Structure 1
Amino acid sequence: MPAQRSVLTLVPRPTKAALRPGHFTLDAGTALHIGAGAEPAADLLRTLLAPATGLSLRPSPDGRFALTLDPGLTGLGNEGYGLTVAPHAVLLRAAHLTGLLRGIQTLRQLLPPQALSDTPQRGTRWLLPCAEITDVPRHPWRGAMLDVARHFQPVSYLRRYVDLLALHKISVFHLHLTDDQGWRMPVAALPKLTEVGGHRAESQKGPAGSDTYDGIPHGGAYTRDELVDLVRYAAARGVTVMPEIEMPGHVRAALAAYPDLGNHPERTLDVWTRWGVCDTVLGVHDEVLDFCRSVLDEVMDVFPSPYIHVGGEECPTTEWTHSVAARERAVAQGLPGPAALHGWFLGQIGDFLVRRGRRPVGWAETGAELPLDFTVMTWRDSAHTLTAARRGHPVVSAYHRATYLDYAQSGDPREPLAQPGGVVDLPAVHAHDPVPEDAAPDVAARVLGTQTQLWTEFVTTPAHIEYLTYPRLCALADRAWSGATDWTDFRSRLDEHTVRLDALDVRQHP
């Protein structure tokens, strides 16, 4: 029966799931029994189901559909939930609100796929198959990074992006807000960051090294209110928005706005129109550190995320080598040379964030170069995850050969322009285990999880974003939540899941 198959086709796969005979019918008479503290979960359930079903799901102490918080269910952790569907009652329970939010996404997938539509669906019976599910994630960090610096996306699309992440029980939306090619984060005291840094004259066509440009201006920035609303919207769906502000490299847009932050303050720069790694970086004088602190103060005021990403990768040190001020700073700090200013700079920023009660995050080039109070994202080599975890870092695996969605999904010449560097196909994403095989238990415990990355040099539209993201994000979500390794089982569930994505009008890769 289709309803029974839906239990087996959940993505991500539940920890434990057992089918039972029968169905529970959602109809106009269905009422919710809402336990103390569960009101936000009930609100989300109504918000998600009302467009397609038209059901009000009114509250009632006698409601047969119960949402319950029980702090005594410690085995479920922060995100786990238990779900019992019987012919005449439904019980969704969790120890924490986030667990209820995860369970609601499971309920959506158990219903006929038409329930995911945003338009009224007539003539559909809203049947939940009877089942017993206990579901606890393997990793707390199941993330997705979207670069809106290379190509800006409106906040209306970011909300849709969050909705799709939540459906797959993704916990972290990593929002890459600044880079050489654009600055999207508003800072009230520094308006030129968006007025100047938010706009470039044109964009390079093709990969780095091309000498062809499109001649089309590109720009955009968010307002503070838009970002505050996005954070609230995501939190209501159990998703944390983690901002990223690049430093001390990948800052050409900031230097175009405020040249005095660079190593050559007399130089006038434009917002970079090329791809690749720009050799202009922040200076290391006191005013630069003050600038970074001011920016991060505003970032922390908008984003309550415990984690704040400050980039840190691909920072050429040539300008520091040729800068008298930088060389003097290196000597004053007792450093072996200007190249060591990279670690010193990030140490200053990390200390500032820690004093503010936040956790600094950075991209690791080797796994061994970031200050120890950083959570590191290892992207160049999967072996760097082990290196960083053994040093004592909390680690998020972002290995590019398994998580970079800007790489082509296949070798088919009809694929759209992609980042040079090979193919990252669906099996590669699903096969990636963020925990190294030879990690000792205490080292393995430092691996928080994994996430996808979508850099947008060649990605300009929401449709293209979704084409590159799905179904590859489904594979990462499945592996990170359940730890499931059975490829055949995943493919079987995914075949059914693609119907849900179709109901959501996701332009997925075939």
Structure 2
Amino acid sequence: MIACVFSLEASAQATRKANIIPLPVSLQEKDGYFMINPGTKLMANSPSEKQTAELFNEYFKSISGYALPIVATATNNVIILRTLQQSPAEGYRISSSPNAITVTGNDDAGTFYGMQTVMQLVPVEKSKNYALPLVTVEDYPRFQYRGLHLDVCRHFFPVSFVKKYIDLLAMHKMNTFHWHLTDDQGWRIEIKKYPKLQTIASRRKTSMVGRYADNKFDGKPYGGYYTQEEVKDVVKYAAARQVTVIPEIEMPGHALAALAAYPNLGCTGGPYEVGTKWGVFDDVFCAGNDSVFAFLQDVLDEVMPLFPGKYVHIGGDECPKTRWKECPKCQARIKAEGLKDEHALQSYFIQRMEKYINSKGKKIIGWDEILEGGLAPNATVMSWRGMEGGTEAAKQHHDVIMTPGSHVYFDHYQSKDKSEPIAIGGFTPVSKVYSFEPVPASLSETEKQYIIGAQANLWSEYILTPEQVEYMVYPRATALSEVLWSPEGKRDYDDFLNRLKVHLKRLDVKHVNYAKHVFGIVSKVENKADGQVSVSLDTKLDGGVIRYTLDGKEPTPRSPIYKKPIQVSKDMDIWAKVFQGQKAFGSGYHQDFIYHKALGKKTTLLTQPSEKYMADGAFTLVNGIKGNEEHASGAWLGYAGKNMEAVIDLGKEMPVKEVSCRSLQNPSQWIWAGKKITIGLSTDGKNFNNRTTEGSFGGKLIGEMKLHYQPGASARYVKIVLENAGKIPSGNPGAGEDSWLFVDEIVVR
């Protein structure tokens, strides 16, 4: 973890006294203050108002050391909680004078959120007297669904931390906690009818350590689960904070832990063991076995009464069809039901379970794979593989929760600093989260109404402790809260950062181990002109000065001060840090660049990569950056089931001695090295002299294919075709599915 102390003094731009996150619909400041002192009262009458007043006292006492008396009537030196029943839902108003602050909620949630805003008016320094700026606020949320997800299967977190997670969620006016309770690596909820889910499915014999590609294990048994009494306690705790808890019981895939306990539920009958690796497994619930549906119905009969919300999340994602294709029972089901194929069999599975869940008065949510083979009639779609699934579902008039990996997967890296703790990949800084727009512009006004909200997801393969959860989620969740609550037209990133400088002090009060990158170095690699790749650096840290080196040596207070973008004019190892005086803030920015003839040259992609792995488009292939072993690091273009084809225009004819291209190999994640490469040289861009070579990767995770040319060879245009490995061979994870091809820098020398 990065540990450092930095200044959070408000900048000259932050002239407001009320720094509220998420930004209210309307906030007007007035001259003067309302003073909280030991004589101040909280006026609350209904049970919900009293509960909200008590929660305010919990926070206030943690700062001041004293609580305010809760009374039924008061006329002076009072904070009044008042609840109406009107629209819009969750809205509230605040009016204040030197004598009183009145919070009027449109409903219980509105009163609660109004008091969350009042909490943010309270200075965080310990005192006996607190001056709250006088404000008038009119506020209500943009979206009805505002969620955070937590995976407790890969790593388990205690009830005490789950409650803290909910506290922080509510503090930011988010209203849904998505609790991911079952997966291949562990079953985490007590089911009394099936005790082996506790004794077997909740424990694995070992866990992966380090990067997935290292294939190393710690050799230590690992497990844990929540009793039904603990679940009830969490749900009650969340309800007091206006948070709905949605359980996720995975089906038909991600079922290995359950199969280990009850092997008759799988296609092969086992034996199975609880997953020790991360990733996707071929062994799933058998869709041709009626006992599977009986088991899941029994499980849900115990789960659903614990969660009073209207939704049950049934997963539906990443379900390989390998076993179903070979299973006589599944094939018999396909034939008996007149289904087209195994994708339609998955739709049958989901729709059958949906009917049961609907019969109990609940609705299902599923990941966007539930669109495959036909969408269940009343399903809500959670779109994670991009925006396309959600867009298609909205066009079919299904409710949609947007949660694309590109913007709201908080298990991704939030900094390009090499000292960051290991993450699953990707790059999602606070600024990218803040730029997220959940409603696709391509939808009609009617269709847009089906986008009911969004959520961020935190998968815990590489997240071992509560402190690391906090580090990955905050302040990114703070940015998302403003996306989901505040009017779209009022969003302003620089203004958000100024308010965040104050808001982080509130997270300090709650002892949150938040990441501080947002006030470190923000980098951008750009192609300013043909062949001129430059690196721009910026910091929002008050009083911060960026110093840098180009030789990979750690910057010091004597290193050059960054004043303008750094042009990549040779092989460079750029390392930059922010300094406040003589003290460095964090580890800064560190990136190697390779200089070659194709650097920054105009590149045309003849085949388009997956939207999930677009990185910086064609520029990714000529930006001077080589990727590491992580396919989602932002340095690779990813192609599912098709070749990578690109043409580079070198600008003029020049000698060519060597052309090379790299690809990844990680079959356990369906990633296969390029089969062969064809490189064509041309002087006119039309007629290419092609040569082909095959690579031998052996056990390497990154392989390079290279062609050498004799003296006298020249070209202006270089065409590269890297051939996809095609369908995944039998005996491998994802057998029969399209393999993934990942490509990074194309080097021309």
* TM-score, normalising length: structure 2: 0.65
Residue matched to 1:117? none
Q: Distance in 2 between matches of 1:342 and 1:49?
A: 51
> Is residue 372 of structure 1 aligned with residue 382 of structure 2?
no
Residue 5 of structure 1, CA deviation: 5.5
**Contact 2:317–2:370 (CA<8 Å) still a contact in 1?**
no
Residue 52 of structure 1, CA deviation: 3.0
Stretch deviating more after TM superposition (480-489 or 27-36):
27-36
Residue 199 of structure 1, CA deviation: 0.5
Shift in alpha-carbon separation, 1:193–1:464, aligned structure 2, 3 A: same
Unaligned runs of 5+ in 2: 1-8, 517-749
2:93 aligned partner, one-letter code: G
What's the secondary structure of 2:407's corresponding residue?
Answer: helix
Q: Distance in 1 between matches of 2:445 and 2:439?
A: 10
Residue 273 of structure 1, CA deviation: 0.1
Residue matched to 1:428? 432
Correspondent of 1:386 among 381, 386, 391: 391
Residues 42-441 of structure 1 aligned to structure 2 (within 5 Å): 42-53=53-64, 54-63=66-75, 64-71=78-85, 73-74=86-87, 77-114=88-125, 121=126, 123-265=127-269, 267-284=270-287, 285-365=289-369, 369-420=374-425, 422-441=426-445
Pair member with larger Rg: 2
Q: Deviations over 1:55-83 (max 9, x none)?
A: 23231412532111122x42xx2211111
Q: Distance in 1 between matches of 2:290 and 2:109?
A: 42
Unaligned runs of 5+ in 1: 115-120
Residue 423 of structure 1, CA deviation: 0.5
Residue 113 of structure 1, CA deviation: 2.1
What's the secondary structure of 1:456's corresponding residue?
Answer: coil
Residue 340 of structure 1, CA deviation: 1.8
Q: Distance in 2 between matches of 1:62 and 1:195?
A: 56
Correspondent of 1:481 among 479, 485, 488: 485
What's the secondary structure of 2:495's corresponding residue?
Answer: helix
After the TM superposition, list the runs of 4 or more consecutive aligned residues in structure 1 that deviate by more than 6 angstroms: none
The answer to which structure has the higher helix fraction is: 1
Residue 7 of structure 1, CA deviation: 5.0
What's the secondary structure of 1:270's corresponding residue?
Answer: coil
Shift in alpha-carbon separation, 1:125–1:291, aligned structure 2, 3 A: same
Q: Number of aligned pairs?
A: 497
Q: Distance in 1 between matches of 2:227 and 2:15?
A: 45
**Contact 2:38–2:128 (CA<8 Å) still a contact in 1?**
no
Q: Distance in 1 between matches of 2:224 and 2:16?
A: 42
What's the secondary structure of 2:229's corresponding residue?
Answer: helix
Residue matched to 2:508? 502
Residue 507 of structure 1, CA deviation: 1.0
Q: Distance in 2 between matches of 1:6 and 1:110?
A: 11
Structure with higher RCO (Cα < 8 A, 6+ apart): 1
Residue 301 of structure 1, CA deviation: 1.1
**Contact 2:44–2:70 (CA<8 Å) still a contact in 1?**
no
Residue matched to 2:716? none
Q: Distance in 1 between matches of 2:274 and 2:30?
A: 60
Shift in alpha-carbon separation, 1:6–1:287, aligned structure 2, 3 A: farther
Stretch deviating more after TM superposition (23-32 or 352-361):
23-32
Q: Distance in 1 between matches of 2:227 and 2:509?
A: 31
Shift in alpha-carbon separation, 1:157–1:59, aligned structure 2, 3 A: same
**Contact 2:172–2:481 (CA<8 Å) still a contact in 1?**
yes
Residue matched to 2:3? none
What's the secondary structure of 1:365's corresponding residue?
Answer: helix
1:487 aligned partner, one-letter code: Y
Q: Distance in 1 between matches of 2:491 and 2:118?
A: 24
Residue 486 of structure 1, CA deviation: 1.3
Q: Distance in 2 between matches of 1:257 and 1:210?
A: 28
Q: Distance in 1 between matches of 2:417 and 2:282?
A: 34
Q: Distance in 1 between matches of 2:507 and 2:156?
A: 24
**Contact 2:368–2:390 (CA<8 Å) still a contact in 1?**
no
1:507 aligned partner, one-letter code: N
**Contact 1:143–1:173 (CA<8 Å) still a contact in 2?**
yes
Residue 445 of structure 1, CA deviation: 0.5
**Contact 1:366–1:380 (CA<8 Å) still a contact in 2?**
no
Shift in alpha-carbon separation, 1:7–1:372, aligned structure 2, 3 A: farther
**Contact 1:367–1:378 (CA<8 Å) still a contact in 2?**
no
What's the secondary structure of 2:35's corresponding residue?
Answer: strand
What's the secondary structure of 1:40's corresponding residue?
Answer: helix
Q: Distance in 2 between matches of 1:338 and 1:243?
A: 27
Shift in alpha-carbon separation, 1:6–1:46, aligned structure 2, 3 A: farther
Residue 124 of structure 1, CA deviation: 4.4
Q: Distance in 1 between matches of 2:215 and 2:466?
A: 27
What's the secondary structure of 1:384's corresponding residue?
Answer: helix
Q: Distance in 1 between matches of 2:415 and 2:111?
A: 37
Q: Distance in 1 between matches of 2:505 and 2:37?
A: 23
**Contact 2:347–2:370 (CA<8 Å) still a contact in 1?**
no
Q: Distance in 2 between matches of 1:383 and 1:246?
A: 22
The answer to which structure has the higher strand fraction is: 2
**Contact 1:366–1:384 (CA<8 Å) still a contact in 2?**
no
What's the secondary structure of 1:113's corresponding residue?
Answer: coil
Q: Deviations over 1:395-439 (max 9, x none)?
A: 00000010000010011111110113x211111101011000122
Q: Distance in 2 between matches of 1:274 and 1:332?
A: 36
Residue 191 of structure 1, CA deviation: 1.1
What is the percentage of aligned positions where both structures have the same residue? 37
Correspondent of 1:41 among 40, 52, 57: 52
Residue 49 of structure 1, CA deviation: 2.3
Q: Distance in 1 between matches of 2:15 and 2:84?
A: 30
Q: Distance in 2 between matches of 1:133 and 1:194?
A: 49
What's the secondary structure of 2:217's corresponding residue?
Answer: coil
What's the secondary structure of 1:498's corresponding residue?
Answer: helix
Residue 48 of structure 1, CA deviation: 3.0
